[in-house]
Structure 1
Amino acid sequence: MARDLVAGWGSRDRPAGARPRVLIIGAGVAGMSTGCYAQMSGMETRILEKHVLPGGCCTAWSRDGYIFDYCIEWLIGTAEGNDANQVWRELGALDGKTMRNFPVFNKVVDADGRSVTFYNDPDRLEAHLLAISPADRKLIQAFCRDLRRFITIDLYPFLTPPPLESVGQKLKKLRTVLPAFRLFWRTAATQMHTFADRFSDPLLRKAFRNIFFQDPEDFPLLPFLFNMASAHNDNAGFPQGGSLGLSRSIEERYTALGGDISYRARVARILVEDDRAIGVELKNGQRIYADHVVAACDGRTTIYDLLEGRYTGPTIDRLYDELLTRPGTLFPAVVSAFVGIEGDFHPDQMHSTTYLLSDSEGARLPGALQNSIVVQLRSQYSDGFAPAGKSVIHCTYFSDYSYWKTLRTTNRREYWDRKREVADFVRGMLLRRMPDLTDRIELVDVATPATTHRYTGNHEGSILAWKAFSDADDLAARLINKEHMRLPGLHAFSMAGQWVGLGGLIRAASTGRFVTQFLCEELGLEFQAWESPPAEPWHPAKLGHLPQLDSRPVQ
């Protein structure tokens, strides 16, 4: 085991002309993407991962034959013929898989039982909304008109970082952006809250905020329209195998390219000599050396723990000293309750529904940040998530990390009591709204923000890191466009992942492509990328062995 972790990387002596060695911290989507592109571009890479599975937050776990899929709700890039899909094809992420596309993005039901169905088709959506509230005709027509325009726009800027774009690439982007510039500017400048508050119907005021399942707060109209348009174009589907299936496919692509992943390899610090990263030291004291180190893990841990805060600058200082603790800057953490049930769902049942809760109901949800809960019938998304004749439901809500972390640290018994409260609430809520589940619920497993932090190290259990369209957005973009994904004063080191590229799996994957392009420019190598070869059809056995979340289910 010890020899395998070092395996020829324990010495700084290298023969002349040897391929550049790149050490990558973290086997999430960004880390494996970096490894794939670096291998294709002629480098020798190795990934160190603290967990026993690839994917980071893009993962799953199991219990009693159920697969609890944790991450993907929709994946940008599932349709062929666009740049986002090209990234996934190069990474082998969708190899051999079918895609599930839904005609509805989400359904929102209020405490009185009234509902809004957000169809991806703007004509169907417009007719449905007008039937609910004819008095809001102008607003409804304006939203659906903008959705129709977004459906015609093909803009997925995930292939090349802006500083390295060729003249041809810049012109192509301009030809797409300029005709729609006013649309982009207006929808990016209009907050969804401001827009929603203009509806006369109180249900529509609440429902529009929850198109993305729960209210992300401080989001403008643009991302709602962009993602619904992508879904309409079958470019925001759900890949067979789900979250861990995506990660396993990228892992398979990476190892086929000659890369190596060491699991249960916990990095204690990044080794630096004369302001140059030369490798890492593991928790067990072993040292592994490389020509370049890429941190594709939690940003704060990288900068202040692994590098002891020695390499910062104005952008980093503002992000991590000022904005990290500012409310609304990080994407909220979530509580997940997975429910295993006997039997199947009716095929016409809605795959995703947000239930708006009364104040009294919301007060019963431990650590809840909003009075709502999302119910997704995950067995409708892909095969293999439950044993034959059974199904899985995934319930989530935004929650406060410090609430759960404090409980788990100071009173483990009370922590488990609150998890059981979540399970009791979910069970009761499902039986009230879906009475056909009576006597069919077999088990409930609950993951909290403290769970996310424990398994991934993500700061405050945030799955998506910096919130897009917040004050952190421009600063994170500067890390790519100006800093080239480096830290001030530190050579032979780069960062990848959501702490530089913001949230979303396609953006995480694109940071691996970007960082490799910057590295190729520095080393004088030609950046190379090609699609993975044809693969056998996906099957659930490809997920491999899955661990349990805890030693016992909550219920």
Structure 2
Amino acid sequence: MPDSGKPSVLIIGGGIAGLAAGCYAQMSGLDSRILEKHVLPGGCCTAWSREGYIFDYCIEWLIGTAPGNEANQIWRELGALDGKEITNFEVFNRVVGEDGREVRFYHDPDRLERHLLALSPGDARLIKSFCRDLRRFLDLEVFPFLKPPPLKTLPEKLAVLREVLPSLLLFWRNSARRMADFSAKFEDPLLRRGFPNVFFQDHEQFPLLPYLYNIACAHHGNAGIPEGGSLGLARSIEDRYTGLGGEISYRARVRRILVEDGRAVGVELKNGTRHHADHVISACDGYTTIYRLLGGEYTTPELDKLYGELLHKPEAVYPGMMSVFVGVDVELPPDTPHSTTYLLSAQESAQLPRVMQDSLVVQLRSRYWPGCAPPGKSLFHCTYFSDFGYWRELRTRNRREYWAQKRKAADFVRAFLAERHPEIGGRIDVVDVATPTTNHRYTGNHNGSILGWIGFTEADDLATRLVNRQRMRLPGLAGFSMAGQWIGGGGLIKAASSGRFAIQFLCEELGIPFRAWESPDDQPWRPEMLGHLPQLDVRPMQLTEEA
């Protein structure tokens, strides 16, 4: 890096955490450079294109789209929402059972309660309990993202306590009760299976707390979808970063972190070139960082448990995701549900390669933001949790069979959509399939995991201690810190917040003030701002005659 006289920072990974760290480094008077292995910013927050369709991979809802909260302040500081319209829906998600009955999870608690009672009067006690607590969450904003706990002053900690104490019982009750245990008590089989799928898939370890919090956010318009979608969010932050003087290098795969006398001093890339800096931040895969880039030399018993034991437990780490995009040459009616989780029969599940939860999520992405489908056309994004190991082994052992299984998933989804939307029959333009190995190839995330550690688990607790006790550092290694979902938790706002935290800790260490201000850019967002959109695979899915 050029010698400007300012402290210099190298950031490994241009996902949301790395981009955020870069922006806050620049605002705080540091010189930074981001090294990204892919050709696009954003990591998993990305998109690609084929035949005029934009396959938006990530954002299903974004916490912080409404003003007046800390999450929104971070997005404003990063320029992520500059000039963008926000789309909000009155229904968080719809769940349809095997028999065709459906439940709609409205974010308005009164409407939700009426709807659920009409479906199952016999479950009135549970329904009213859930909606009563949801009403209480509408008045709460106690999930801070702006400053890590170790840096908070005593008055700031007391302010948080004053806000939390009146609702302490509410938080305790809903964080101690797992959704699986709550939903199992419903008499109605649709509600019993439907409630765990409010967040599209079943987040099996979650308590009630995140469901109530996110539905409440949606009620306030604080869980919307920004114009431009996933890659649009990443591009806006990239533009903010470069506008602040930051530099980002693509196709820059880091081979190892350079260490001298117990201090990180730079990195060596795969092509052999070396880059030096005063501080290195790794915002990429956690296991890769600790055991490959650093050779496993800087660990603790907690880290070894986290990455040696819990990383291999399904209940601790989010699985990979199968994505099937289907573009159709018809504009579906405006009242078409934007998101539906279909509960599959055993016969249907047997036709989907390595489906894990006997369900398929169907989202009409062309309702999320204009421009992801050409005029007069529509785009579906269909997803299900799937086993990374199966797809990795298949792709390694038999590439032909790997493609055959991708086609099998594509064929099932095409037929499934045509049965429920007869108007699309024979009018399918394009189908694109991404497996968990696709995610791993382009982002490096362990086993193609979409969100890293599952929240409210032992793994999540251990990762939180790395922030609160270790200050995102590794023992015995100076000049180095970590950021991203493997340390700050899954979700885009947590990733962005972790980048902010990393720079706040660094500024304290350097004895310089941490600075942040909102982006002044109010230029309306335009589709051209997405830039060049590559194809992830040159070989597209072949459309059969039935399509």
AA of the residue aligned to 1:196:
S
Q: Does residue 96 of structure 1 match 2:83?
A: yes
Return the offset for 1:242: 0.2
Distance 1:148 1:437 in 2: 40
TM-score (norm 2): 0.98
> Structure 2 stretches of 5 or more lacking a match?
543-547
1:487 CA drift (Å)? 0.6
The amino acid of 1:156's aligned partner reads F
The correspondence of residues 441-460 of structure 1 with structure 2, limited to 5 A, is 441-460=428-447
Distance 1:96 1:335 in 2: 32
Contact kept, 8 Å, 2:79 with 2:521, in 1: the verdict is no
| Equivalent of residue 209 in structure 1, options 170, 188, 196 | 196
Match of 1:55, SS state, is coil
Match in the other structure for 1:66 = 53
Alpha-carbon distance, 1:156 to partner:
2.8
- CA distance in 1 between counterparts of 2:202 and 2:400 reads 31
Secondary structure of the structure 2 residue equivalent to 1:330? coil
2:392 is aligned to 405
Distance in structure 1 (CA, Å) of the matches to 2:295 and 2:112: 52
2:333 and 2:492 map into 1 onto residues whose CA distance is 30
1:537 is aligned to 524
Match of 1:26 among 13, 17, 31: 13
Q: Which amino acid aligns with 2:154?
A: V
Q: Quick one: which of 394, 415, 422 aligns to 2:402?
A: 415
Question: Which residue number in structure 2 is paired with residue 187 of structure 1?
Answer: 174
Alpha-carbon shift at residue 552 of structure 1 (Å): 2.3
Q: Which runs of 4+ in 1 moved over 4 A?
A: none
1:132-143 equivalence runs, <5 A = 132-143=119-130
1:288 maps to 2:236: no
Q: Does 1:199 align with 2:186?
A: yes
- What letter matches 2:213 in structure 1? F
Q: Is the 8 A contact 1:77 1:85 kept in 2?
A: yes
Q: What SS does the corresponding residue of 1:324 show, helix, strand or coil? A: helix
Q: 1:554 maps to what in 2?
A: 541
- Contact 1:376–1:393 (Cα < 8 Å) also in 2: yes
Deviation at 1:466, TM superposition (A): 0.4
Which residue number corresponds to residue 493 of structure 2?
A: 506
Per the TM alignment, residue 405 of structure 1 is displaced from its structure 2 partner at its CA by: 0.4
Corresponding residue to 1:300 among 270, 287, 295: 287
Q: Distance in 2 between matches of 1:324 and 1:129?
A: 38
1:34 maps to amino acid: A
Q: Which residue of 1 aligns with 2:319?
A: 332
2:476 counterpart (484, 489, 492): 489
Q: What's 1:5 paired with? A: none
Write the letter of the residue equivalent to 1:104.
V
SS in 2 for 1:528: coil
Aligned-residue offset at 1:176: 1.6
Contact preservation (8 Å) 2:327, 2:379: yes
- 1:105 and 2:102 matched: no
1:509-528 mapped onto 2 (5 Å cutoff): 509-528=496-515
In 1, the alpha carbon distance for the partners of 2:113 and 2:211 equals 15
- After the TM superposition, which residues 256-295 of structure 1 pair with which residues of structure 2 at under 5 Å, given as runs? 256-295=243-282
For residue 345 of structure 1, report the CA deviation from its aligned partner.
1.7
For the 8 Å contact 1:82–1:156, the answer to whether it is kept is no
Who is 2:370 aligned against? Answer: 383
Q: 2:146 is aligned with what amino acid?
A: L
Report if aligned partners of 1:213, 1:353 keep a CA contact under 8 Å in 2: yes
User: Structure 1: any 5+ residue segments left out of the alignment?
Assistant: 1-7
Establish whether residue 247 from structure 1 lines up as the match of residue 198 from structure 2.
no
Say if 2:60 is the partner of 1:36: no
Local SS of the residue matching 1:379: helix
Give the CA RMSD over aligned residues.
0.8
Question: Do structure 1's residue 120 and structure 2's residue 107 form an aligned pair?
Answer: yes
- Per the alignment, residue 370 of structure 1 pairs with 357
1:392 aligns to 2:344 (yes or no): no
Q: Is 431-440 or 281-290 further displaced after alignment?
A: 431-440
State the alpha-carbon separation in 1 of the partners of residues 232 and 39 from structure 2.
15
1:158 is aligned to 145
Normalising by structure 1, report the TM-score: 0.97
The Cα offsets for residues 63-97 of structure 1, whole Å up to 9 and x where unpaired, read as 01110000000000000011110000000000000
CA distance in 2, matches of 1:414, 1:281: 37
**What is the aligned length?**
542
C-alpha offsets along residues 157-183 of structure 1, whole Å, 9 cap, x if unaligned? 100000001223212211221111001
Q: 1:275 is aligned with what amino acid? A: G
Matched residue SS, 1:334: strand
